[in-house]
Each structure stands twice: as structure tokens, then as C-alpha cells.
Amino acid sequence: MPVRLSGKIVELTDDLSASYAADISALANDRQVRDMLASDTFPHPFTMEDALAFFDRNRVIDGEMFAQDFIILCDGAPAGIIGISNVSWKHRSAHVGYWVGRKYWNRGVASDALGLLVQHCSAIGLHRLYTKVLDHNPASAKVLTKNGFHLEGIQKDSYNSGDRYHSMLLFGKILQ
């Protein structure tokens, strides 16, 4: 049964239906969105096939969830993706990742979505969440600190995007 979480601005659904693929691929096929992400697996251009492949990827091994992704809905329309990966049930920790389409930037969408995800992670028994942010993405760092994440360190020149190295800001949050 799909999980659906409701916040002040957004709803999250883990029903990764193919019906969302066109909207997600249109939002993700934006160089400015891609340039804010430290990901070697987020392609540009981002096609409908990329969205469908992401929706269809495995998130369970031997009956145990190692990832969970949600479509962020704003006013009923897809606005981006948020989720957890590298879930360790032994350590009760997970990596958080998210992106929001540019037309939804600076509207509180990512902050509301992350708040819902944090609540969900606490409810399913996780203890710690962590993530990395590119040094040139202060908006994402603000989303994290607004949701109780703390800067844990900086990895200097640890991400290469073509002809330039970027530092990564490391954030974490202990769930109560």
C-alpha cells in the first residue's frame, strides 16, 4: 500500500507511477537543477526513460528496504523527488537526497518535504540521517538547517564537475 504524507505545502507519495514520468522528466531536464546536485547518476539531459528507470529501480533486497523514494506533490502536481538510500537497519541510518524543479524554488517546497521525510524516518525507526551539499548550493544547506540538520564537516575539493572541483558540506541529524 502506498505511503502518502501531507504537509503544509506539499504531499509526498511513494507511488512512483509511470503517470508522473512526463512531469518529473520535464522538471529534471534542467541544467540548473542538475548543477545543484552532487550526483554521478542524475543525467542531463534527463529523459522520460530516465524517469521510468528511476521509478522501476529496486529498493528492497531479501525483503528489507534499503531505499525509499517519494514524489513531491505541490498543488497536486509533481514538484520533485525526495528519498532515503543506503538504509542501514543495523545502524538505523540513511542518506537523504532531494531535488525540486526550478519553478518550485524559494517557495518552501523542499523544506516542507524534508520535514515530512524526517518525521517518516523517525516513525519507521531510523536514528540518524545524513547528506552532502555542494558548496555553491546555500539554498539546500538552508533547507537542511531549517529542519534541524547540523554541519558536521567539509570535504575539500571532493567533487569534480567537468573542469572544476567543489567542496562538499556534510550534514547530519539525530532523530529523537
**Tens of pLDDT, residues 116-155:** 999 999 999 999 999 999 999 999 999 999 999 999 999 9
Instruction: Give the residues across from 123 on adjacent strands.
Output: none
Residue range 3-27, pLDDT digits in tens: 999 999 999 999 999 999 999 999 9
State mean pLDDT over 36-52: 88
Residue at 39: amino acid letter: S
Q: Is the pTM of this model over 0.75?
A: yes
CA distances from 145 to 34, 45, 70, 104, 169 (A): 22, 30, 21, 19, 12
Residue range 83-93, pLDDT digits in tens: 999 999 999 99
Residue range 57-81, pLDDT digits in tens: 889 888 888 999 999 999 999 999 9
What CATH number is attached to the domain comprising 159? 3.40.630.30
> CA-to-CA distance for 19 and 60, rounded, in angstroms?
22
- Count: domains in the chain: 1
Classified as helix, coil or strand, 30 is coil
- Domain range for 137 is 4-174
- Identify the burial level of 175 via C-beta atoms within 10 angstroms of its C-beta, where 0-12 means exposed, 13-18 middle and 19 or more buried: middle
Q: Using alpha carbons only, what angle is made at residue 131 by residues 108 and 66, rounded to the nearest 5 degrees?
A: 105
The pLDDT value given to residue 157: 95
